[in-house]
Amino acid sequence: GENVEQHPSTLSVQEGDSAVIKCTYSDSASNYFPWYKQELGKRPQLIIDIRSNVGEKKDQRIAVTLNKTAKHFSLHITETQPEDSAVYFCAARPYNFNKFYFGSGTKLNVKP
Amino acid sequence: DVKVTQSSRYLVKRTGEKVFLECVQDMDHENMFWYRQDPGLGLRLIYFSYDVKMKEKGDIPEGYSVSREKKERFSLILESASTNQTSMYLCASSLIGTGDNEQFFGPGTRLTVL
C-alpha cells in the first residue's frame, strides 16, 4: 500500500520568513495530494491540494509543488505570520481509492 | 455551519468497558472514516465505510469495530477498552469517487482509558 513520509516533524521560523514542508510517497498510482492544517484544539482543515497532472498550485501565500518522477510534494508558506502556527499534514490518495494516506505531521511555530 | 459532529469531545472510560463513539455528517457523503491521532504518528486510519452497512479495515483495526446503519451516521466501537486505546479519535466524511474529494473532519473525541 501507499506510504507517506513527512519532514520535518517540527519547524520553527521567524515571522516573515518562508517555511517548507516536504512529503514523499511510494505509490505511483497516487494522483491527489491534499494538505491539511490543524490549529491547536481544532479539527484538520484542507488548505490546498494538487492533482498529479499539475506541477504547482498557488493560493496567496501558500503553494504546493509536485514532482511525480521523484514522488515528492512540498508545501511552501511565504511571509509567515503567527496565525500560521499549527500542525500541517500532507496526504496522498491512490487513483480509484477512497482512502487517504497521511503523513505524520509537521508542527510549525512562527515566532513573532 | 458545522457539518461533521462527534458525540463527545472528552470521554473517560475504564479498562474493559465497551465504548461507543458516534459521528454524524449532514453533507450526504458516501464515505466516512475513523482515524486515530497520536503525537508523532499523524492520522492513522482505523476503519472506513463507503456505503450503508459497508466497511473496510484501515491500517489499525485491531480492537475496534464499526457500524453504519444510516448514511449520515458512523459509529466506532471499542469492544473492551484498553489503556493503549487512549487517544484522540477523529471522524471524517467525503464524497465517493476519484475527484478532488475533500475530507471534512469532526472536532475529535479525546478518549482516556484508565
Instruction: Report the C-alpha gap between A11 and A67 in whole angstroms.
Output: 22
pLDDT at position B98 is 64
Give CA torsion, residues B57, B75, A106, A52, to 10 deg: 60
Any chain B CB within 8 A of the CB of A46? yes
pLDDT at position A95 is 76
Give residue-wise pLDDT tens across range A88-106: 999 999 876 778 899 999 9
Give residue-wise pLDDT tens across range B61-88: 999 999 999 999 999 999 999 999 999 9
The answer to whether B20 touches B8, Cβ cutoff 8 Å, is no
B105/A45 Cβ within 8 A: yes
Residue B88 forms beta bridges with which residues?
A: B37, B110
Could you say which of A32, A98, A99 has the minimum Cβ distance to residue B100? Answer: A32
Q: How many CB atoms lie within 10 A of CB A35?
A: 22
pLDDT at position B24 is 97
Q: Cβ contacts (< 8 Å) between B102 and chain A: which residues?
A: 34, 46, 49
Whether residue B107 has a cis bond before it, omega within 30° of 0: no
Residues A29-48, mean pLDDT to the nearest whole number: 94
pLDDT at position B7 is 92
Give CA torsion, residues B29, B34, B38, B40, to 10 deg: -60
Instruction: Report the C-alpha gap between A10 and B59 in whole angstroms.
Output: 24
CA-closest candidate to residue A30, choices A77, A75, A66: A66
Least-confidence region, from A45-49, A93-97, B106-110: A93-97
pLDDT > 70? residue A69: yes
Give A3's DSSP letter.
-
Instruction: Report the C-alpha gap between B19 and B105 in whole angstroms.
Output: 21
The band of B1, judged by pLDDT with boundaries at 50, 70 and 90, is low
Sheet with B4-6: strands ordered across = B4-6, B19-25, B73-78, B64-70
Average pLDDT along chain B? 93
Any chain A CB within 8 A of the CB of B44? yes
pLDDT at position A94 is 83
pLDDT > 70? residue B2: no
Residues B98, A48, A59: CA angle, nearest 5 degrees: 130
Instruction: Report the C-alpha gap between A47 and A74 in whole angstroms.
Output: 13
Average pLDDT along chain A? 94
Q: What is the DSSP string of B60-104?
A: --TTEEEEEEETTEEEEEESS--GGG-EEEEEEEE-SSSS--PPE
